[in-house]
């Protein structure tokens, strides 16, 4: 087997300038300015993305347009250990089909639950909140491999302090949440250089970041 064949079977390896040209189409984020700077034109498919944000509602707001799009497909969306119970009317108002949504409280086994969801092939996206837990080295690598195996989008939301930790994720974003929208910095993207900060207005209405679990501002 030649080198090119070996590399073709390893989409987790960065091949320099060749990777950008061969980057598969991603899942549109719903934010045109962000899609424009990502080599996939959206969230990297069948890969792990890390989103570093102090405010969990901001991270979910960044992912929500893509989740609404994916919920119209045949597979499930899985939320693992969200910090607040999702408020169903707010999600439905922004286009998410609740019939495709499952929420799991893993009780300290978030890494395991997320991996099972990714590998199952039944999920188009698995979102896991990892404020605590074994999110280093082997655990992150297992999530990346599980996303590849199940052809699913994996989003891991972590505290900004995790920026110091190495990661095999295809994409790492640092997000700051404001009243008018999001400031997103591309810390790492496989096949391309990190980018500067982008200012993104809220998609679906400025009330999103103020919505709590009970739907009240």
Strand 123-129 with 76-80, pairing: parallel
Q: What is the CA radius of gyration of the chain?
A: 16
Check whether 64 has a pLDDT greater than 80: yes
Decide which of 21 and 104 is more confident: 104
pLDDT band at 130 (very low <50, low <70, confident <90, very high): confident
B/e letters for 16-35, b = 16+ CB within 10 Å, e = fewer, are: eeebbeebeebbbbbbeebb
Return the residue matching tokens 């092939």: 121
Instruction: Give me the pLDDT at residue 22, please.
Output: 55
Strand 197-201 with 181-189, pairing: antiparallel
Instruction: Give me the pLDDT at residue 2, please.
Output: 54
Decide which of 201 and 185 is more confident: 185
Structural domains in the chain, CATH included, are: 42-210 (3.40.50.300)
Q: How far is CA 90 from CA 55, 102, 198, 211, 212, in A?
A: 17, 16, 25, 8, 9
pLDDT band at 57 (very low <50, low <70, confident <90, very high): low
pLDDT band at 181 (very low <50, low <70, confident <90, very high): confident
Least trusted range by pLDDT, from 37-51, 139-153, 200-214:
200-214
Instruction: Give me the pLDDT at residue 177, please.
Output: 83
Check whether 3 has a pLDDT greater than 90: no
**Mind listing the pLDDT tens digit for each residue in 103-120?**
999 988 999 999 999 999
Check whether 20 has a pLDDT greater than 60: no
Determine the average pLDDT of the residues in 140-157: 96
Residue 144 host element (H or E): helix 138-150
Q: Which two tokens stand for residue 72?
A: 């119209």
């Amino acid at each position: 087997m030649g080198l090119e064949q070996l590399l073709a079977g390893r989409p987790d390896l960065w091949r320099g300038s060749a990777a950008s040209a061969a980057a598969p189409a991603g899942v549109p984020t719903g934010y045109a300015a962000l899609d424009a700077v990502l080599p996939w034109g959206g969230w990297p498919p069948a890969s792990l993305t890390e989103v570093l944000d102090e405010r969990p509602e901001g991270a979910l707001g960044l992912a929500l347009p893509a989740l609404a799009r994916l919920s119209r497909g045949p597979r499930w969306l899985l939320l693992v250990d969200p910090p607040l119970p999702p408020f169903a009317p707010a999600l439905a108002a922004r286009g998410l089909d609740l019939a495709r949504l499952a929420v799991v409280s893993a009780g300290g086994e978030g890494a395991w639950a997320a991996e099972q969801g990714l590998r199952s092939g039944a999920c188009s996206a698995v979102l896991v909140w990892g404020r605590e837990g074994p999110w280093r080295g082997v655990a992150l690598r297992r999530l990346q491999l599980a996303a590849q195996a199940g052809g699913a989008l994996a989003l891991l939301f972590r505290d900004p302090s995790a920026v110091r930790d190495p990661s095999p994720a295809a994409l790492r974003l640092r997000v700051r949440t404001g009243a008018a929208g999001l400031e997103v910095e591309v810390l790492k993207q496989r096949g391309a250089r990190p980018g500067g900060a982008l200012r993104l207005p809220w998609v679906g209405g400025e009330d999103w970041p103020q919505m709590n679990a009970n739907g009240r501002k």
